Amino acid sequence: MKILFYIILIFISLIILYGIIPTYVYKIKHKIEKKNITNNGKNIYLTFDDGPDPKYTLELLDILKENDIKASFFVVGEFAKNNPDIIKRMQEEGHKIGLHWYEHKSALIQHPLKTKTNFQKGINTLNNLGVKDPSFRPPWGQFNWVMIYLMKSYNLKPFLWDVMAEDWQKNTTSEIIKNKLEKRVKNNDIICLHDGRGRDDAPKRTIEALKEILPKWKNEGYIFKTTGE
């Protein structure tokens, strides 16, 4: 029993050192950087993770185009590879494209070799699709030290977020998502929503919420910027 206890203890300690500590380092760094931002107008940054999805991302792009809004998409490499036309449309319509790793996996449990493979495959996929100067957001905002080394090697700027609306949850509704966004979003916030994955067609509820809140935000004077700005 003692041997098993020590094995478990060592395993937990390795996870803390390898993934949890760098994750919190970057989350604290993000909060500090946010506090140092100069208030230069009513800017918000609309970002989407987990796509592209051949059904929902296209519908989302239609809504963004209708409202003349540019957004940032952190795409999963394997989904981007399977949907090159959607990536092309994002580029043509002026959206910013970033990497959300090749597979949607947690960095906390990805060993160094798998981390390197996942990262390089993602970068290569975006390069092959003509995406220039991508930014980076790891799944669930989780980092490990190998990921950080690779991120710096490729000169990728990481972007976390300030606001979520839990739009991936099974038991949420478009009205709940809209209400959360209305209550939580303030000037200079990075908003993280999802155009792919999620429970029970979750992106559909996000899109319905955006149909209502995007015109409202524009009427309130918010200016939508991308992470590239």
Which position among 53, 100, 194, 195 bears the catalytic label? Answer: 194
Among this protein's residues, is 162 annotated catalytic?
Answer: no
Cα–Cα distance, 132 to 66 (Å, whole number): 25
As given in the structure block, the two tokens for residue 147 are: 């990921």
Amino acid 198 reads G
The neighbouring-strand residues paired with 192 are 47, 164
Sign for the CA dihedral angle at 57, 54, 117, 198 comes to: positive
Which position among 49, 53, 189, 195 bears the catalytic label? Answer: 49
Cα–Cα distance, 30 to 4 (Å, whole number): 38
Q: Which of 167, 159, 152 minimizes the C-alpha distance to 205?
A: 167
Q: Which of 79, 203, 192, 60 minimizes the C-alpha distance to 137?
A: 192
Residue 72 backbone class (left: φ over 0; alpha: ψ -120 to 50; beta: rest)? beta
Cα–Cα distance, 80 to 70 (Å, whole number): 19
First-residue to last-residue Cα distance in the chain: 56
Among this protein's residues, is 49 annotated catalytic?
Answer: yes
Residues labelled catalytic: 49, 194
